């Protein structure tokens, strides 16, 4: 069960926008609108930021947005802030009642 | 307030067994889909298992036949029975509410498989 593909790292300056990609196949990202994004701070449990490709849970800043095109989903963070520095993971439902995560992306705020 | 509290982790020898617990409050475990996710030291998240509200269970290939997910409705608690443990099972194990999107997570419990 291979993981979804994410860049290992991305960086941006405060105020800028960054986008993290998450590439899968037609059996997961491309086939279902069940892509989620999580933020994980060091030593903490993951926090849900986006679900069902582009929906935001209550309490999550509208600076976070999600989208999908074909087999690739994307998380965009606008107006980058120092507190956004963290690891980000995508996940997708995969056929046959399984779930797959991406390898994770380390976001550095310069 | 929704809370998930895992317990049961520890140091175990290869081939041994361990049962993790996830005590829930603020909602009813039996009415929700629940998930176990693990994270090896310094590595990414890995899905381990689902249990659906109807009781159906699903597993990652890496644990199929060795791990069993279950729940005790009277205790509102989720479990993960782990048998035939291997070094590569060393990880922090999280329980999470939901199946495709996890809005609540426990704090995690560390399992170390080593002789």
Residues 17-56 of A with CB under 8 A from B: 32, 34, 36, 38, 40, 45-48, 51-52
Tokens of A18: 């960054």
Q: Which residue of A has its CA nearest to B45?
A: A101
Nearest to B58 among A91, A92, A97 (CB): A97
pLDDT of residue A50: 98
* Alpha carbon distance B31, B99 (integer Å): 12
Residue count of chain A:
110
Residues 50-109 of B with CB under 8 A from A: 50, 56, 58, 60-62, 94, 99-103, 105-108
Q: In angstroms, what is the C-alpha Rg of chain B?
A: 13
pLDDT per 10-residue tile (average), chain B, 115 residues: 97 98 96 97 96 95 97 96 98 95 96 97
pLDDT tens track for A61-102: 999 999 999 999 999 999 999 999 999 999 999 988 999 999
pLDDT tens track for A8-44: 999 999 999 999 999 999 999 999 999 999 999 999 9
Q: Tokens 């030593």 — which residue?
A: A43
Report phi then psi at A100, rounded to 5. -135, 140
Interface contact B35-A99, CB threshold 8 A: yes
Check CB contact of A100 with chain B, cutoff 8 Å: yes
* Alpha carbon distance B6, B24 (integer Å): 9
Q: Tokens 């509290």 — which residue?
A: B5
Closest C-alpha among B39, B97, B4 to residue A40: B39
């Amino acid at each position: 069960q291979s993981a979804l593909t994410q860049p290992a790292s991305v960086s941006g300056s405060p105020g800028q926008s960054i986008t993290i990609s998450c590439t899968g196949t037609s059996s997961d990202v491309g086939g279902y609108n069940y892509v989620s994004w999580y933020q994980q701070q060091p030593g903490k449990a993951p926090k849900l930021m986006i679900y069902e490709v582009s929906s935001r849970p209550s309490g999550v800043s509208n600076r976070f947005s999600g989208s999908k095109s074909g087999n690739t989903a994307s998380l965009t963070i606008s107006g980058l802030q120092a507190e956004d520095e963290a690891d980000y993971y995508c996940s997708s439902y995969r056929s046959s009642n399984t779930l797959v995560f991406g390898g994770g992306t380390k976001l550095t705020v310069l | 307030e929704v809370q998930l509290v895992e317990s049961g982790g520890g140091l175990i020898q290869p081939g041994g067994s361990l049962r993790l617990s996830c005590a829930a409050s603020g909602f009813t475990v039996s009415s929700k889909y629940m998930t176990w996710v693990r994270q090896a030291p310094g590595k990414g998240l890995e899905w381990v298992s689902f249990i659906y509200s109807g009781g159906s269970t699903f597993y990652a290939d890496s644990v199929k036949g060795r791990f069993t997910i279950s729940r005790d409705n009277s205790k509102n608690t989720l479990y993960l029975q782990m048998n035939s443990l291997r070094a590569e099972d060393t990880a922090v194990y999280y329980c999470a509410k939901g199946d495709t999107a996890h809005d609540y997570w426990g704090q995690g419990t560390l399992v170390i498989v080593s002789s």
